[in-house]
Structure 1
Amino acid sequence: MPRNAAGFDRIATQVFAPLYPVVARRLLSWAGTEKGLCVDLGAGPGLLGIEVAAHSEMEVLALDRDPEMLSFAGQHIREAGLSGRVGSLLGDVHALPFCDNTVDLFVSRGSIFFWEDRPRAFSEIFRALAPGGTAYLGGSFGTPAIKEEIFAEMRRRNPHWDEDVARRSGRGRPATLTAALSSAGLHDAGIKDEETGFWVEIKK
């Protein structure tokens, strides 16, 4: 994946776009919620958060620590006509700018592989979750067909795509993430598998 915000936005909008509505609907269904506050962690250009808002009545915040990335998120939010319900927020998952017990749903696709201190991040997420709230943190490609299309296009654009995927996946294997949950004291949290990936599921 590109390291600069413009390149990342280009890949997200041109290649990965089909997976976001599928993933948003799935996570909303798992969470069993349609209203309240949703925060998309490591949101990048904000496409997952936008789809959560489009498929529910939730207020959504796209949180990222890169101001340039948030400028792309703001552009996409405006283009989607969701400025009234989706906002962007500069912040870091390791020190979330939310009071205790205030967020109904956390979602995050892809960023967990880059978190520097996962036990701390998991603790912060649990602290900020509202009672009855849920977090889904991880990654998938929606459906096998969407994954196949994305991988084919990414291999065309990047000859080292498969190596890059393997390297990123190595940073966040289920066993590693389960150990981080235990280190955070979240012994009731776990891994939720699906066809094209897996998610850390934290409930409060």
Structure 2
Amino acid sequence: MAPSALCVRCSLLVLRKGYRAPSSSTWHKYGNAPVRGASTSVFNVFDRGMKRRQKNWAASQANAQQYEYLREEIGDRVADRVFDVARTFPFALDIGSGRGYISRHLTKETVERFVQADVCEEALKRSSASEIPTINVIADEEFLPFKDNTFDLVVSSLSLHWVNDLPRAFQEIYRVLKNDGVFIGAMFGGETLYELRCSLQLAEIEREGGFSPHVSPFTAVNDIGNLMGRAGFNMLTVDTDEIQVHYPGMFELMKDLQGMGESNCAWNRRCLLHRDSMLAAAAIYQEMYGAEDGSMPATFQIYCMIGWKPHESQAKPAKRGSATMSFGELGKVNEMLSKSKKDDA
């Protein structure tokens, strides 16, 4: 079934009872104004309205597919983790789906029905066809317009690093999951683009006597597990991986980031970078990080996370003090096994 683009105002059966979609003015201003239900203590780091415009512009370009290599790769890896779970999911949700980078790798034997949610309507309009019956919904990661206990599986790939209120996003994911449901996601980590960040900072210090942030901040890996645990997830797994992509130069890297819709959208970003500083940064990048073949590597750190919503059927840790062997006796295990083999012989 071909995906159909729907707005959050549609009366889907899965929509939360009593939910009201934000008006158009609220939708475009939620980056710089209080959002319905948002905590006043949340750091408003990113201009979410700007990010939405960046993603819509990138998705509407005629050559948009040539910049999707990272999203394709990570979407494939997330799908592999879904296949690792030996069950069929009747109903699944993809948060920040873009053009369907996860669903295109899944089968209807694994996921029976699928909902793709993203703030970028242009990407949803151009979503790839899938053999899984799919519905597209325009929705914000921090305010999912679905009823409690709706989905058996929630996935996300390279979207959550632009969320201002990450604790709330995890709480929303936890809320819409059914008991014994699983969340499998991937997001950019703190060491992403450290080469570009260092080169720009050194160039600005040299040419202008100070520097401004040009690469958006990322979450630390230890914070991911803490936030998911606070949201209620158990049986947590968080691991990191790195992908290194080689570019002809720094400007080609920046062009690709723009084509991905991954340009910086932090409120404190500096919109203007002087020509001298840019040329100096490119030279520093080449000198400090350039490969022998003349290319410039860019590192993308990926956090991969898995968390389960608790259920009575899940395995539980043994009670404290119930162990029958101390850690000091573990060295005797090999002796016991060797003796058992000799007896059997």
Specify if TM > 0.5: yes
Contact kept in structure 2, 1:64 and 1:91, CA below 8 Å: yes
Q: Is the 8 A contact 1:100 1:127 kept in 2?
A: yes
For 2:223, the equivalent position in structure 1 comes to 176
Alignment counterpart, residue 106 of structure 1, candidates 148, 151, 154: 154
- Deviations 1:116-148, CA, capped at 9 Å, x for gaps: 1011111111111111110012248xxxxxxxx
1:5 to 52, 56, 60: 56
Q: What is the SS of the residue equivalent to 1:100?
A: coil
User: Contact 2:59 / 2:122 at 8 angstroms: preserved in 1?
Assistant: no
Read off the aligned partner of 1:188 and give its amino acid letter.
N
Name 1:201's counterpart in structure 2: 306
Q: Who is 1:15 aligned against? A: 69
Q: Which amino acid aligns with 2:92?
A: C
What is the alpha-carbon distance in structure 1 between the residues aligned to residue 153 and residue 101 of structure 2? 16
Structure having the higher helix fraction is 1
Max Rg structure: 2
2:92 to 38, 42, 50: 38
Whether the 8 Å contact between 2:183 and 2:308 is mirrored in structure 1 is yes
SS in 2 for 1:177: helix
Tell me which moved more, 89-98 or 131-140.
131-140
Q: For 2:66 and 2:224, how far apart are their aligned partners in 1?
A: 25
**Are 2:128 and 1:95 aligned?**
no
Q: Is the 8 A contact 1:134 1:203 kept in 2?
A: yes
Instruction: Report the CA distance between 1:44 and its aligned residue.
Output: 1.1
For residues 20-79 of structure 1, what are the alpha-carbon distances to aligned partners after superposition, in whole Å with 9 as ceiling and x for unaligned? 563244221343332311111011111212322467343111101222221122xx22xx
CA RMSD of aligned residues (A): 3.3
- 2:236–2:305 CA contact under 8 A, matched in 1: yes
Distance in 2 between residues matched to 1:13 and 1:56, nearest whole Å = 28
Q: Within the alignment, does 1:192 sit opposite 2:238 as a pair? A: yes
Residue 88 of structure 1 and its aligned partner are, at CA, apart by 0.8
Q: How many corresponding residue pairs? A: 177
Secondary structure at the aligned position of 2:89 is classed as coil
SS in 1 for 2:145: coil
Query: Alignment partner of 2:83: what SS?
Result: helix
Contact 1:61/1:86 (8 A) holds in 2: yes
Gaps of 5+ in 2: 1-50, 198-213, 243-301, 310-345
Stretches of structure 1 that go unaligned for 5 or more consecutive residues are 141-159
Name the TM-score, length of structure 1 as normaliser.
0.70
On the 8 A contact 2:152/2:181 being kept in 1, the answer is yes
TM-score, L = length of structure 2: 0.44
For residue 60 of structure 1, what is the amino acid of its counterpart? Answer: F
